Amino acid sequence: MSSAQKTVPAAAPGYRPRHTLPLRVEAMRQLRRRRTLVVAAVLAVLPFVLIAAFAIGGEPSGRDGRITLMDTATASGANFAATCLFVSAGFLLVVPVALFCGDTVASEASWSSLRYLLAAPVPRARLLLSKLTVALGFSAAAMVLLPLVALAAGTAAYGWGPLQIPTGGALPAGTATWRLAVVVGYIFVGQLVTAGLAFWLSTVTDAPLGAVGGAVGLTIVGNVLDAVTALGDWRDVLPAHWQYAWADVLQPHPEWGGMVKGAAVSVAYGVVLVALAFRHFRGKDVVS
């Protein structure tokens, strides 16, 4: 396959490897898939489910005199958006990232269409780059969709106002909005580990469910290990250890140290895993 691809550019006038499998084509293919619509629907509905839960259960209140972000959820639209991010960052937002990145190559193999794409011919590196770029784009869209809907729904339900900080004080609505944007960006960077793991597994297996499930499962294992305090400083190398470092930004005087460390750990793992995916797929015998 690879030797044939090397001879095609000379034999086929006008052939340009960089123009094969354009991003817009891959994006439209993924956008039309049912799983994309289901993910978007779930993320868009979640804020309304929480609003209904608060309406049925009453106003949240602190336990044992302690006030958490959940307890201030109904203070304003900004508080509600921050609460939605808090309850979903640990698991719910992991699922679309694992789904988009883990399903992208493995699904082509399961449909027996991967070999036809390579015979088009689409260079292997180009195919992976296009699929990874679109998968990350859809993952980022999922990250943005939830807080946007939550902010709009929360503002309609609880009003537009400052973000009440559980530890005391408040952030003006304008300041809170851009701080929440920073939070969303950090959560996306933190999910690069899951994205890289799912993408690598997608090149290893022909079963999309295996790639997606493997990425989600190993992410859960990371969360469990982070809860083992006996590991001490070893937990600092776990991406899960820094997944809520963004809470330091929602303070009158933000602290960036935890987010910088968390971003560095996530990017490092993500780059290594993506490199493994490209290395493995380069020499893989594609028969499906």
| Average model confidence (pLDDT) across the chain | 85
**35, burial (CB in 10 Å: exposed 0-12, middle 13-18, buried 19+):** middle
Cα distances from 73 to residues 67, 77, 79, 186, 202, in angstroms, run 11, 8, 5, 21, 38
Amino acid, res. 166: P
Does residue 49 carry a pLDDT above 90? yes
Does residue 37 carry a pLDDT above 80? yes
- Cis ω for the linkage preceding 208 (within 30 of 0): no
Confidence of residue 287 (pLDDT cuts 50, 70, 90): low
47 vs 65, higher pLDDT: 47
Percentage, residues of the chain above pLDDT 90? 46
Question: pLDDT tens-digit profile of 239-269?
Answer: 888 999 998 898 888 889 999 999 999 999 9
Does residue 17 carry a pLDDT above 70? no
Contact at 8 Å (CB) between 55 and 158? Answer: no
Q: What is the pLDDT of residue 67?
A: 64
Q: What is the mean pLDDT of residues 21-38?
A: 84
Confidence of residue 172 (pLDDT cuts 50, 70, 90): very high
- pTM score of the predicted model: 0.86
Question: pLDDT tens-digit profile of 139-163?
Answer: 999 999 999 999 999 999 999 989 9
Between CA 246 and CA 182 the distance in angstroms is: 8
Among 21-30, 79-88, 111-120, 272-281, where is mean pLDDT lowest? Answer: 111-120
110 vs 173, higher pLDDT: 173
Burial 85-94 (b: 16+ CB within 10 A, else e): bbebbeebbb
Between CA 203 and CA 73 the distance in angstroms is: 41
Question: pLDDT tens-digit profile of 181-216?
Answer: 999 999 999 999 999 999 999 998 888 889 999 999
Question: pLDDT tens-digit profile of 51-105?
Answer: 998 888 766 655 555 667 788 888 899 999 999 999 898 888 999 999 999 988 8
